[in-house]
Structures are given as structure tokens and as C-alpha cells.
Structure 1
Amino acid sequence: MSIFSVVPVTVSDYERRARRCLPRFLYDYAAGGANNEETLSANCADFSKIRLRQRVMYDVSRGSTDTTLLGQPASMPLALAPVGMAGMYARRGEVQAAKASETVGIPFTGSTMGVCSINEINAATNTAAWFQLYMLRDRDFVQEMLQNAWDSGTRTLIFTVDLAVPGLRLRDFRNGMIGGGWMGKASQMLQLATSPGWAYDVGIRGKPHFLGNLSGKVKDAKDLNSYKSFVESQFDPSVTWEDIRWLRDQWKGQLLIKGVLEADDARAARDCGAEGVVVSNHGGRQLDAVASSISKLPAVVDAVGSETEVFIDGGIRSGLDVVRAVALGARGVLMGRPWIYALAVNGEAGVRNLLEIFQREIAIALALTGVNSVQELNRELIDSE
């Protein structure tokens, strides 16, 4: 039976279809991790080891998945994580995903490396997106992007701190996305030729393809490789917590530090004035062989959870995973790859449908663990046997 005769419902359904409809280098860019991808695998595998306690004969007639994330009302404890080049997976992809998020009632996060700028995203929706940023060598440009995001309506900044240097993502070498000379270019051309639907909808109708937040800073605006070279030249391995204190002084809104795995780093983020931290190993895309995000969550919650909001990303593949994370102390989760797969398959509708399934899974899990709200989830609902 063809995968296209089955209505996609789960993340796995969407991923299988995305693999078929995308050029290989784009699928690998989203799906791949660093080196041997041990951490990438552990992120999902460690979620599956967590068991919930099913409890019966509780009045769960008032069940609700509603919550707040950094003061913003949300229909469930979930936000869409920033994903670079999302606009290459569907026509004006960031805008489509932001519209889906708004319809469902959760935050969307625009990436520094997004095809659609934060201005374009916020102009297309009534609810301003969150914005993700790296610390670049050019601090004047950092200030410029911060001011631009603020002026467009954004009030929540996610600042990524685990990218002092880019990880070694071997799939990008194998498929010709990085290096490879003429062989790499030939490989990419062949991949494009075998993805005619993508070539028309995104390659032709989805222009312009430059990274919108950086368009005024890169000389060759039509060449994605120019953007990549610019960003990599701007990664600053000298950044310390003093730079985050400087950032805190620049940004008037909510600040979420993403890329924390250790309790000491979470405390440092708190001491810099961050309202929240994201327990994250960058989806297994940076340092391979580090622990999964979910295995590190409890210690970070114990260290700072009473003073800051703790989020997690990496390995989220269902509403049950959201419940597991919240029961372990997370305020909410950020989800990346799944929404990209749904976007690639069916655009805004695909993202919306996937999120609605997640919400239904969360609601059912709440009822069958005997609670009426996500605020009632706690570690007592984790089966320790």
C-alpha cells in the first residue's frame, strides 16, 4: 500500500511522506543530527521509557489543556520551536506554520535563519511570534535585529546559547549540501529533479528564498550559501554569561535561554535575568553523545523551576510526550521537526491537523491519569516501577 493512500495522523506518518516529497538534502537537513546521531536517537528513545500512572474513578469532567507560557495564554503547553530555513519546506513556510499555530492557540517561534522575516510573520498574523536569535560577533547587528523584532510586535525572545561552533552534521556532507564540489552540486540537481512538486510549489512559487532577517546584511541575497557563510563567520566562541547580561539590558521583553542541559548553567541563566530556560541539546544537532533532553529535565527543574519557567525540546513526538515532560516539571515544550514534516506534506493545514491531534492526546492523557488540567500534572503521575 502506498503511503499516499493513508491519511497522515502521527509524526511518523508525516515524516514518511516528507521524505518522499522533499529533495533529499532538505529532508536530511531537518531529520539529521550530529556525527553518529546517538543523541538524536536518545532524545526520542528516552521519552518512551517514561510510564504514566493510569488512575480511574476521578471526576475529570472539567478537563482543560489550557495554560500560560511566559505569561501568554496557550491552548496547551506547547510552542513551535524555531527551525532554520522552514520556508524551504513549503511556500512561505514560516507564515503558514504561524497561521496554524495562531488558529490552534499556541506560540510560534521565528528563527534568525528563517526564510520569512519576523516582520513578514507578524504582519500575516494577529498574534506576534516569538523570535529566536544567536549571539553574533556584530553586536550592532544584534541590536538592530532586537529592535526590529520589538517594533514588529514580538515580546518574547528565545536566545540560543549552544552554538558557539556548528556541530558536525554528516548527512549534509553526504547529500552535497556542504562541500562536495561539482559532485555535490550534481547530486543536489538530481535530488531537485526527483521532487517536481516541491520544485514548483516552493522552488518557483515560494520566492524569494533568501533569509529574511539577514537580507540587509548579506551581499548576495539570492544565494543561501552566502547566508550560511555569513552566519558561520558570525558565530562567536568567546561569548560568556557576561554577554547574556548585556543582552538582558538590550531586550525589554521576556527572555528564554535555549540550550541548557546542566543545572549550573540553568542557575547562571536565571542569575542573568532570564524568565525561562529551555533544556535542549539542539535536537541532537550539536554535540553528539550528550544526554537526552528529557533525562536532564528533572535536575534543571529542581535547580530553578520555582523561579523560572522551564521548557524542553528534543524528542517530542506526541501529546503523550508533552504530558510526560510537564509531569516531570516542564512548563511547556518546544517542538521542531514534527511541524516541519507536517508543513512539507500539507502546509498550514498539515501543521494545524498535527497540533489538533497533539491536543486531543493531551486531553485524553489528562483524563486517564485522573486530572482536569495540565497544572495538576506532577511527578506522582510518573510510574517509577
Structure 2
Amino acid sequence: MGCTVAGQFAAYQNEIYLQGLAGNVPPFTTDPEGLEASARERLGPGPFWYVAGAAGGGATARANREAFDDWRIVPRMLTNATERHLGTSLLGTDLPAPVLLAPVGVQSILHPDGELATARAAAESGVPFVLSTAASHTIEEVAEAAGDAARWFQLYWPNDPDVAASILDRARRAGYRVLVVTLDTWTLAWRPHDLDRSYLPFLRGVGTAIPFSDPAFRAGLAASPEEDLPMAILRWVQLFTGTDKSWDQLAFLREHWDGPIVLKGIQHVDDARKAVDAGMDGIVVSNHGGRQVDGAVGSLEVLPEIADAVGEQVEVLFDSGIRSGADIVKALALGAKAVLVGRPFAYGLAHGGQVGVRHVLRSLLADFDLTLGLSGHRSPAELNREALRRR
């Protein structure tokens, strides 16, 4: 059984309205599109488009959002949904809601506190934050900021096995329990918004805190990052990109990680089955928010067939396109056990650090709580395809 919470998240709506009696309004907009527009005004073009941009002409990013419009919720009445229980159990951990914060890297381009602020905000709500290998702060620093909250770690798999093993060992010793391995970003896609500005944060030393603090990585350098920053950056970029892996190499992960392993970037049923055959514990149906392959299927388009194929054998998570409570309802009804949210919390971070992430997370969870109840459901476990109709 998952955690039991009744009305905990929807209460944020009442809080906002009651604050209005004192002449107060929310610190930032509750509208996802408005939040993105406001973030664009606050950030420089480089940082904003690094988050908001997509591969090629953006067709996949658009497909992600359009796929949600292909499904409509069919509300049910008189279902006694006043009391709702949003909790779930995921990979052995009880969560207050089926929502996680996705592994967004280089967060210091959005706010100086970066991942520290995000970890603290996530901990306040009990929602896991998946720390990216491309973080602006070290594994240990973010673990300390997260306190007793659930910790997940995302691996961009370096080409050097000693460095990979060292990073995994550090994450394990720092209390990260679940490993998320991103498969779809072994090299960067063609991203015009970044290319037109010649903007790649890693080449500026951003998003390198984890390798630069890693003993195995530092041991392979002729000079430390403090002594020769450009050479350290170049070495990390060489290890970070350019080499695809194969299915038989997953055994390396099992050798160096004793907790649950989740493969992120699955878009094909056969790949989902291979993940099961390889003994993986979970998959994330994801196309990296449309940032890697232009002209690809929307992530939600392939979720149902993947969930049907492997949902009884492995935990199926989903990301790419979540913006609202209705989006979460649809993804869960189509077979996801939980969803990961990326760009919305990044825009919140740009607005106010921890306060901004907290506001976005509370808004999204309140929207989900209310949409779940108003559509006639008392818990995520009640959602299935009968809750939806395809256009």
C-alpha cells in the first residue's frame, strides 16, 4: 500500500484563495504556459532556450503535447471521491503522489542554488528528485540538501568504466537508492536554438560538478580542473558523449549498483521487452522532451502499447510533455505507474529558486488531486483506459 493523503494537495487552492482576502496573490502564475513566458523574460536567451528548445524543428516536442489532446477524460459522477488517496508504492518506496522531478541538468543557469533548491523543494512535498549527472552541485551536496527525502540518481554513462563505477559508488554511499540510466543522449542532437547562440553550458564549466569532484576522473587528468579548467572540460565532454552502449553492457550496471535500475528513453515495445529480459526494474517511456530525435513519435503515443507489453513485469514510468493535472491523469490511465516532470519545475526554479520550485510542484499536485476527484476517482489505482476516450 502507498502513502495515504486526503486533500493534502488540493488544499493549496484554498490557501491561494484565502490569501486573496488579505490582498495577496500567488508568488508566480499557476498557468504553465504563462510560467514559461515569464521565465523567458527573466532568463537570458542562452539559458532559456537551452531548457525550452528541442531537436531540429521541434516536431517531436510538439508531438508530445499534441498526443495529450488525442485523449479526453470522461468524468464519472457520484463516486464518493471527496476523500482521495494519491499515494503509491514505486520500486519499494512509498510516495505521497505518483510524481517525480525529472533529472534536469545544469540548473545553475536558471538559479544560483540550482539542484540544491530543487532538492529542498522536492523534500518538502515528499516527491523524489532525480539528480542528473550534469548537475551544478556534487552528489554529496545535493544529498545533504535533500535531507531524509527519497533520493534517485540519473547516470549519463561515461565511456571510462572506472569513472562510471566511481560515480555510482559515490551515489550509493550518499544514500541514492534508485538508479536511472539515460539511454537516448549518448551524443547531442542538432538543436538550432543552442547552435545559433553557440551555447553549450558544459563547455563553460557548468554542469561539471560531479565529474570534477570525482577521484577517478581527477586521477585521469594531467592537471586538476582548478589548474587547467579547459582541459578538464574537454576530457569530460569526451567521456560524456560520442559512444553508444549495447544491451549486453547493462551487466556492468548490475555489478556496480545493488538497488533498482530504471532505463530512461524507451520508445519501442521491443526495447521495453529487452529491458525486462535484462533484469531491469523499471523503464521511463520518454523521448527526452523532444530534445534528441526530431520527427519522432510523441511519448504518450507509445505509452499504451509499451505498458500493455511489459506493465506486469516492470515498473513503467513516463515523461515528455507533462504540464497539468489532466496530463498526469491521462498518463496514469494509459499505463504509467508514475510520471516525471521537467521543464515546469525548471521554470519555477528560474523564478524563485526553492520557492519557485515549491510553487510549481504544489500547483501541479493540487491540479492533479482536483482533476482526479472531479473526474470521479479516489486514487490513481482506479485509473485505466475506461477513464478516457480517444478523439
Compute the TM-score of the two structures, normalised by the length of structure 1.
0.87
The change in CA–CA distance for 1:35 and 1:228 in structure 2 (over 3 A counts) is farther
How far did 1:381 drift?
A: 0.3
The one of 173, 187, 200 equivalent to 1:151 is 173
Which of 40, 44, 58 is residue 37 of structure 1 equivalent to?
Answer: 58
> Per-residue deviation at 1:6?
8.5
2:40 is the counterpart of 1:19: yes
Q: What is the match of residue 318 of structure 1? A: 324
Equivalent residues in 2 for 1:120-139, closer than 5 Å: 120-124=141-145, 125-139=147-161
**AA at the equivalent of 2:189:** G
In the other structure, the counterpart of 2:8 is none
SS in 2 for 1:162: coil
Correspondence 1:192-341 to 2 at 5 A: 211-216=208-213, 217=217, 219-220=224-225, 227=233, 230-235=236-241, 237-341=243-347
1:189-226 deviation per Cα after TM superposition (whole angstroms, max 9, x unaligned)? xxxxxxxxxxxxxxxxxxx9562211143644585895
Letter of the 1:248 counterpart = R
When structure 1 is superposed on structure 2, of 355-364 and 325-334 the one drifting more is: 355-364
Between 1:348-357 and 1:67-76, the stretch displaced more is 67-76
* Preserved CA contact (<8 Å) 1:25 1:175: yes
Q: Find the residue that maps to 1:130 and give its secondary structure.
A: strand
* 1:111 shift after superposition: 0.5
Is 1:311–1:334's contact at 8 Å kept on the other side of the alignment? yes
Q: Percent identity?
A: 35
Give the Å deviation of 1:156: 0.5
- Deviation sequence 1:28-57 (CA, Å, 0-9, x none): 100001111100111112112210011111
**Structure 1 residues 53 and 210: CA distance shift in structure 2, 3 A:** closer
- Compared with structure 1, are the counterparts of its residues 50 and 224 closer, same or farther at alpha carbon in structure 2 (3 Å cutoff)? farther
Match of 2:349, SS? Answer: helix
Matched position secondary structure for 2:301: helix
CA 1:51 to 1:296, structure 2 compared with 1: closer, same or farther past 3 Å? Answer: same
Q: Secondary structure at the match of 1:68?
A: strand
Q: Counterparts of 1:261 and 1:224 in 2: how far apart (Å)?
A: 36
Structure 2 residue runs of 5 or longer lacking an equivalent are: 1-24, 219-223
Q: How far off its partner does 1:236 sit? A: 5.0
C-alpha contact 1:135 1:236 (8 A) present in aligned 2: no
Secondary structure of residue in 2 paired with 1:150: helix
Q: Could you tell me which amino acid in structure 1 is paired with residue 151 of structure 2?
A: A
Distance (whole Å) between structure 2 residues aligned to residue 266 and residue 375 of structure 1: 22
Match of 2:124 in 1: 103
171, 194, 218: which is aligned to 2:193?
A: 171
Question: Which amino acid in 1 is paired with 2:299?
Answer: S
Q: How far off its partner does 1:227 sit?
A: 3.4
Contact persistence 1:210–1:224 (CA under 8 A): no
Give the SS at the match of 2:303.
helix
The 1-side partners of 2:300 and 2:92 are apart by 24
CA shift at 1:384, angstroms? 3.2
Q: What value does the CA root-mean-square deviation take over the aligned residues?
A: 2.3
1:365 deviation in Å? Answer: 1.7
Structure 2 residue 148 is matched with structure 1 residue 142: no
**Aligned equivalents of 2:88 and 2:234: distance in 1?**
37
Which string of whole-angstrom CA distances, capped at 9 and with x for unpartnered residues, describes residues 228-249 of structure 1? 7623444353410111122122
Q: Is the 8 A contact 1:248 1:273 kept in 2?
A: no
Q: How far apart are 1:159 and its partner, in Å? A: 0.3
Residues 14, 257 of structure 1: alpha-carbon distance in 2 compared, 3 angstrom cutoff:
same
| CA gap 1:69/1:178 in 2 versus in 1, 3 angstroms | same
Distance 2:97 2:150 in 1: 17
Amino acid at match of 2:359: N
Q: CA 1:276/1:228 → structure 2, altered by over 3 Å: closer, same or farther?
A: farther
Instruction: Output aligned runs, 1:9-88, within 5 Å.
Output: 9-88=30-109
Q: C-alpha distance in 2, partners of 1:223/1:368?
A: 55
Indicate how the Cα distance of structure 1 residues 178 and 7 shifts in structure 2: closer, same or farther if over 3 A, else same.
closer
Alignment-derived partner of residue 162 in structure 1: 184
Residues 138 and 234 of structure 1 are in contact (CA less than 8 Å); yes or no, is this contact kept in structure 2?
Answer: no
Are 1:118 and 1:129, in contact at CA under 8 Å, matched by a contact in 2?
no
SS in 1 for 2:51: helix
CA distance in 1, matches of 2:111, 2:74: 39
Amino acid at match of 1:36: G
Aligned mates of 2:100, 2:129 — CA distance in 1: 6
Asked whether the 8 Å contact 1:121–1:129 carries over to 2, the reply is no
Q: Is the 8 A contact 1:10 1:354 kept in 2?
A: no
The aligned counterpart of 1:356 is 362
**Quick one: distance in 2 between partners of 1:164 and 1:308?**
24
Measured after TM superposition, the shift of residue 74 of structure 1 is 1.6
Q: For the residues of structure 2 that align with 1:108 and 1:95, how far apart are their CA atoms?
A: 10
Alpha carbons of structure 1 residues 130 and 5: separation in structure 2 relative to 1, 3 Å: closer
Aligned-residue offset at 1:113? 0.4
- Residue 91 of structure 1 deviates from its aligned partner by 1.7
Out of 363, 375, 381, the position equivalent to 2:381 is 375
1:314-368 residue CA offsets vs partner (Å, 9 max, x unmatched): 1111111111100101001111111100000011111111111111111112212
